[in-house]
Structure 1
Amino acid sequence: MATIKKSAGRPLTQMDKRSALIDAARVLFVESDYEKVSVRAIAQQAGVDASLIRYYFQSKMGLFSEMVKETLAPMFDKIVQTNKQYAASSPEEILTTYYSIMSQNPDFPKLIYRTANLSPTDSNRELQANLLDLFPATRMTVFDQLKQADILRPEVDIMCAKMSFVSLLVFPFLMPELFKQAIGIESSPEFLQKLAKHNARLLRHGLIADEFQPSQDR
C-alpha cells in the first residue's frame, strides 16, 4: 500500500490535512472498492482525525467525488480552455494533459472504469451520478467546433472521432498486464509521455485537414 508523505518537524495546516485526505482517498479507492474503504482507514492513511472528513467533505461520498474532481481538474481546465479558444491542436492538448496527469496516477483510470461498471445498488447509483456530473456533454464539444470550422478532414465522422479519442485516452491505462507482457510493453511515466506524443500525432494526421497541419509535417 502506498503511504502519504508528511513534512517532518512541522504541524499540518488545515490545507495540509485536507490535501492529505484527498491523497489518502486516491490511494485507497484505487486499491479497493468504495464499500470496502472505511472513513477510519482513510483518516489513518492521511494521519488526521476522521471527523475532518465530515468537516471538509460532508461524507465519504463527498470525499470520493472531490478526489475525482481534483485529480482530473487540470484536464477539465484544458477542455474549458480549448472549448473557448479551439484550434487544430485542441485534441492534442487535451490528450497530452490527460497523459501527464495519469503518468503520475496510472491506476486512477481503473478506478473510474470500475465505478462506472458497478452493480446497480442505491449507493452505487449515487457514486455513478456523481461521476457523471463531472463529464457533461458540454465538456467535449471540441470536435463539433472543429467540424463547424472545417478544420477536420471532410470524411471524419464526429461520433467516430469522439470514440477514437476516448479510446486513446482510456485504453492504455486499462490494458491488462498480461497483454502488455505478451507484446513487450513496459509501462512507466517516461513511456506514457512518449505514448502521449505518439497518439497526439495519430490524432492530428487522422483527423485534422492538411491545410491545418504544422508546416514541418506537410
Structure 2
Amino acid sequence: MTTKMGRPKQSNSDQDSARSSLIAAAKRCFSEQGFDKVSTRKIALSAGVDAAMIRYYFGSKAGLFEATIQETLAPVIEQFQADIDPNTPPNPLLLMQTYYRMIAKNPMLPKLILQVINQQDNPEAFAILTGIIDNILKRSEKWIEAFEKQKQINPNLNPAWIRLSFVSLMIFPVLAPKYLQQQLGVELKEDWLLNLADHNQTLLEQGLFTFPSPQPSSNDTKGEQE
C-alpha cells in the first residue's frame, strides 16, 4: 500500500496535476529506458515536479510503476468486471474496443510490458506486472464462465481454449515484434484498432473460413436414379 509523507503545500488541482504528470512521465521513461535504468529524479524532471512528490504520492519508484500500470489498464479491468455482472450480458466487441482505445492512448505500454516480462531485470517490477496481468487473466476466466452460463459458448469447443483463442486474437497484434507488425500492417492507432475490433467480432460470430457443401458421389447419384 502506498505510504504518503508530509502533505505538499499545493491546492488540490495542483496536486492532481502533479500526480497526473508523474504518471505520464513514468510511462515515457519506463518504456524508453526500462524500470532499472530510470531514476525517480529523471521521472520527476520529465514531469516538471519535485522528486519528493513521488514519495508523497506513490511511496517509491516501485509504487509509481504499479500505479502507472494499474491506472493505464483500469478501463479494461473495469469492463471485464462489468461483463462479469450476472445482470449484464458479456460484450466481446465493447471489451475489445475498450482495450484498443487504451492501447491507442498508450502505444508505449506494449513495449514496457515486453521489457519487464522478457528481461526480468528487476524482480520487484516483474512481480508487480505479473500480479496485475494475473488479475486480468482471472477476470477473463470468469468472463468465459459468464458466457457459458448464458449458453453463448459453442459446446463443441474447449472453454479453456476459447479463452486462449480470444486473448490471443485481441492481444497478439499489439504485442507482436515490430517486424511482424510492419509485415502484417498493424497500426497502434485508434481508427485502425477499432476496425480490427469490428473484424474480430465478425470473426467470432461467423467464423474464419467458408467451406463448400460436400458434393454427392457418383455412387450416391446412381443409387438415387435406381
- TM-score with structure 2 setting the length: 0.77
Pairing partner for 1:133 from 118, 131, 134? 131
Give the match for residue 213 of structure 1. none
* Paired letter, 1:201: T
* Paired letter, 2:193: L
Distance 2:202 2:77 in 1: 21
Q: Is the 8 A contact 1:75 1:98 kept in 2?
A: yes
Distance 1:17 1:118 in 2: 30
List aligned pairs for 1:56-205, cutoff 5 A.
56-85=57-86, 89-119=90-120, 124-134=122-132, 135-136=134-135, 137-140=137-140, 141-185=142-186, 187-205=188-206
Larger gyration radius, structure 1 or structure 2: 2
Distance 1:42 1:186 in 2: 28
Q: Is the 8 A contact 2:66 2:128 kept in 1?
A: yes
Give the match for residue 6 of structure 1. none
Q: Is the 8 A contact 1:17 1:48 kept in 2?
A: yes
Superposition deviation, residue 34 in structure 1: 0.5
Determine whether 1:33 maps to 2:34: yes
Structure 1 runs of 4+ with >4 Å offset = 86-89, 183-187
Superposition deviation, residue 88 in structure 1: 5.5
Identity over aligned residues, as a percent?
Answer: 38
Distance 2:123 2:34 in 1: 14
Q: Are residues 118 and 186 of structure 1, via their aligned partners in 2, closer, same or farther at CA, if it must alter by over 3 Å? A: closer
Superposition deviation, residue 89 in structure 1: 4.5
Q: Is the 8 A contact 1:110 1:173 kept in 2?
A: no
Q: Are residues 195 and 154 of structure 1, via their aligned partners in 2, closer, same or farther at CA, if it must alter by over 3 Å? A: same
Give the match for residue 48 of structure 2. 47
Distance 1:103 1:76 in 2: 16
Helix, strand or coil at the partner of 1:198:
helix
Alignment root-mean-square deviation, CA: 2.3
* Paired letter, 1:56: Y
Q: Are residues 14 and 129 of structure 1, via their aligned partners in 2, closer, same or farther at CA, if it must alter by over 3 Å? A: same
Which string of whole-angstrom CA distances, capped at 9 and with x for unpartnered residues, describes residues 107-144 of structure 1?
2122122212233x6xx222222223323254221102
Distance 1:92 1:105 in 2: 20
Superposition deviation, residue 84 in structure 1: 0.9
* Paired letter, 1:15: D
Q: Are residues 63 and 90 of structure 1, via their aligned partners in 2, closer, same or farther at CA, if it must alter by over 3 Å? A: same
Helix, strand or coil at the partner of 2:155:
coil
Gaps of 5+ in 2: 1-12, 208-226
Single out whichever of 153-162 and 171-180 deviates more from structure 2.
Answer: 171-180
